[in-house]
Amino acid sequence: MMDMATHTGTPWLDSPVMLHSSRKYKCSLPTQEQCKWQQGYWRFWYEADHRFALPTVALFMAAIGIFTIASFASFVMPASLRRSKMLRKATALSRYLSYRSLRIKALDWNSAPLGVLLLGAVGAIFFFCMTLGPQPYYWPNTKKVSYGGSPPIATRSGWMALACMPFVFATAGKSNFITLLTGVSHERLQVFHRWISYAMYTLALVHTFPFIVYHVWKGDMVKQWNTSVVYWTGVVALLAQTWLTFASFGPIRKLCYEWFKFSHFLAGLVFVIFFFIHCDFRLSSWDYFIATGVLFSLSWLHRNLRIYFEHGIGHKATLSLVSNGFIRASVPVHGQWAVSQHFFVRFLTLGLHAGSTHPFTACSLPTEELEDGKSNLVFYIRPQNGFTARLAKYVQAHPNCQIRVLIDGPYGGIDMRKIATCTKSVAIAGGSGAGWLLPFIEAYVRRTTANQNDTSSLRVILATRDRETQYWFESAASEILSSQTKQDLSSRLSIEIYYTGTAPNPRANPSIETTQPEPQNEKQTFDIEQSSNPTTSSHSSTHTLPFKPPHLKTFSFRPHLPAIIASETESTASNGSLTISVCGPLSMQSDASNEVARQQVLLMKSGAKEVFLHVEHFSWA
């Protein structure tokens, strides 16, 4: 990035320190032709920030601008235009790109959606062409004639790396201007946070190695290291960036999430400090640090204002273990949240764990039934490793204990406008996503109770291999239905629980209908994976429900999601709409998203219906 031939090191920064260094240049090459060539559009060092950094900013801002326009148009567009066949076909195409993904079953890995991959490809092509397209890569220096000490390929890659930095931070924050403008929630921006970071790191490497090659050729590598602060600050920044990049890989991150977060923030601080000194106010380099600082500060300030002023610091969570081993955390709060929104919760106990926040999906809706108009914000937490395992042990030793918490949120969630206007809705979850389904049932019951003319339908599907989770969900769903509805919803509300485990069922509930499809119809709707011990009503039961919902059914096989989604799409009325919401393991996400994508291809031909998908990830951080 810097012209190493003209700027030597000082203990910290060259002086006098200014916001921008001078662009004045006097050519010292022997001939006019050499001077003109050196100052070519893609080669001139004193304009490199304009040639390479600004186009990089323009690339990112153009992408943000396109999605901002699309988000704004969705709000202001007349309903008649939204219902037009041509627009529905265009929407189906965009949704196909948003939903279609690739899956490698052997690695239990899903790719990003096709549209996101295409955006990544555009970025890769841009950086590839901007880095390798302009010539030369190295100055044609000789022992007598020097065009400069900064190899052109190092200069341009350095400026592009610097221009990536504000967007790395912008896509990392929970509160950020990109979400505000585009409506894309922060957890869905994480893939761009990682990819921009990968691009920045690759460009940093391309920036670094040509300097090593050049000074080894020149024979003064040791001298540069000993006398130039630029070199060792750059190395420290690159080492910190290496940790930030590779320690963020999923398998490493999951080993200890708390350590990952602490080390990520620490390495980020080290990186920014040494990168700041490394840039040494050359040209407009510090402008990008100012932009980064503003974006980070506003995000941090907004989150903390919400924590301390909107929610307050006096919250106490009441913790208990429910029958399937989940931790139930109930926090009385003021405020509103919607279906599928999540909060970041800091438990102010358990030692070092108090230093980190953890995202949990709200498994209740605001009711304002408590004193002072408060509502119970309920989370169901599945104990796994690290913090959640320790929290479960603590709750087991201290039943119904209360722990002070700080709450940040809500974030994300489903577009409830689509849910409210959809003809049909299907909510699908697997395993520990059982609690995620409860607000769907509650919101549907409230909506149909408030509006007697509402004729929409809801189908809830839970697949679990754990009997205790099955029984717990049956009870929780039945409690919602018995306490909140007085009308007959049996024709429009269906709650289906699919047991996919192999353990015998010693506690089958005879009051719950257990359905086995007729053999001749099995392949029409389901791909059956029959349990070796199917649920029947012949076993003795200790599992009873206070209320018997007529629309709650249990099955002893694995639901075939593509067939279910195809059937629901086919049965949706012409000019109707269908919302599919999924929370579950990667295989479930892949089955659902790819089937909805396949339906978009069919809808592109007719433009008669709309099918919308929302996928809630188990882990995205």
How many angstroms separate the CA atoms of 290 and 266, rounded? 20
> Looking at the predicted structure, is the pLDDT value of residue 257 above 80?
no
For residue 454, the tally of other CB atoms under 10 A from its CB is 13
How many angstroms separate the CA atoms of 411 and 360, rounded? 10
Angle ∠(596,597,598) on CA atoms, nearest 5: 90
Spatial neighbors of 485 by CB under 8 A, at least 6 apart, are 445, 448, 449
CA 388 to chain centre: 21
Global pTM reads: 0.86
> Looking at the predicted structure, is the pLDDT value of residue 352 above 70?
no
Question: Among 98-102, 484-488, 532-536, which range has the highest average pLDDT?
Answer: 98-102
DSSP state of 309: I
Q: What are phi and psi of 615, to 5 degrees?
A: -115, 125
> What's the pLDDT band for 310 if we cut at 50, 70, 90?
confident
> What's the pLDDT band for 94 if we cut at 50, 70, 90?
very high
At 10 the pLDDT is 46
Spatial neighbors of 81 by CB under 8 A, at least 6 apart, are 87
At 544 the pLDDT is 58
Which two three-digit tokens encode residue 354? Answer: 């108090």
> What's the pLDDT band for 8 if we cut at 50, 70, 90?
very low
Please give the C-alpha separations between residue 36 and each of 2, 28, 51, in angstroms, as whole numbers. Answer: 20, 11, 17
Please give the C-alpha separations between residue 241 and each of 161, 273, 292, in angstroms, as whole numbers. Answer: 12, 12, 16
Q: What number does CATH give the domain 312-412? A: 2.40.30.10
In the chain, the amino acid numbered 463 is A
How many angstroms separate the CA atoms of 611 and 600, rounded? 7
Spatial neighbors of 23 by CB under 8 A, at least 6 apart, are 46, 47, 283
> Looking at the predicted structure, is the pLDDT value of residue 72 above 60?
yes
Question: Among 23-27, 160-164, 606-610, which range has the highest average pLDDT?
Answer: 160-164
Buried b / exposed e over 409-441, threshold 16 CB at 10 Å, is: bbbbbbbeebbeebbbbbbbbbbbbbbbbbbbb
Residue 329, H or E segment: strand 327-333
At 565 the pLDDT is 95
Percentage with pLDDT > 90 across the chain: 47
Which of these ranges, 152-161, 437-446, 541-550, 591-600, has the smallest mean pLDDT?
541-550
> Looking at the predicted structure, is the pLDDT value of residue 536 above 60?
no
Q: Longest C-alpha distance within the chain, in Å?
A: 99
At 581 the pLDDT is 94
Q: Would you state the CATH architecture of domain 416-616?
A: 3-Layer(aba) Sandwich (3.40)
Which of these ranges, 40-49, 195-204, 424-433, 449-458, has the smallest mean pLDDT?
449-458
Residue 583, H or E segment: strand 577-583
DSSP state of 521: G
Q: Sign of dihedral through CA atoms 563, 568, 571, 574?
A: negative
Taking residues 431-446, report their average pLDDT.
89
Residue 522, H or E segment: helix 522-525
> Looking at the predicted structure, is the pLDDT value of residue 195 above 70?
yes
> Looking at the predicted structure, is the pLDDT value of residue 9 above 70?
no
> What's the pLDDT band for 518 if we cut at 50, 70, 90?
very low
> What's the pLDDT band for 243 if we cut at 50, 70, 90?
very high
> Looking at the predicted structure, is the pLDDT value of residue 3 above 60?
no
Taking residues 545-551, report their average pLDDT.
61
Dihedral angle, C-alpha 444, 445, 448, 454, nearest 10 °: 40
At 485 the pLDDT is 61
pLDDT digits (tens, 9 = 90+) for 109-131: 889 999 999 999 999 999 999 99
How many angstroms separate the CA atoms of 190 and 197, rounded? 10
80-85: Cβ within 8 A, 24+ apart = 83/575, 85/606, 85/607, 85/608
> What's the pLDDT band for 210 if we cut at 50, 70, 90?
very high
Domain boundaries, the chain: 42-73+81-304, 312-412, 416-616
pLDDT digits (tens, 9 = 90+) for 168-179: 999 998 889 999
How many angstroms separate the CA atoms of 589 and 586, rounded? 5
Which of these ranges, 192-206, 495-509, 601-615, has the smallest mean pLDDT?
495-509
At 7 the pLDDT is 44
Spatial neighbors of 612 by CB under 8 A, at least 6 apart, are 95, 415, 418, 422, 577, 578, 579, 580
Which two three-digit tokens encode residue 435? Answer: 């609690």
Q: What's the mean pLDDT when you consider all of the chain?
A: 84
pLDDT digits (tens, 9 = 90+) for 468-491: 999 999 888 888 888 766 666 767
Please give the C-alpha separations between residue 614 and each of 36, 341, 365, 431, in angstroms, as whole numbers. Answer: 56, 12, 19, 18
Percentage with pLDDT > 70 across the chain: 87
How many angstroms separate the CA atoms of 48 and 59, rounded? 17
Taking residues 309-331, report their average pLDDT.
89
How many angstroms separate the CA atoms of 506 and 513, rounded? 16
Taking residues 46-74, report their average pLDDT.
95
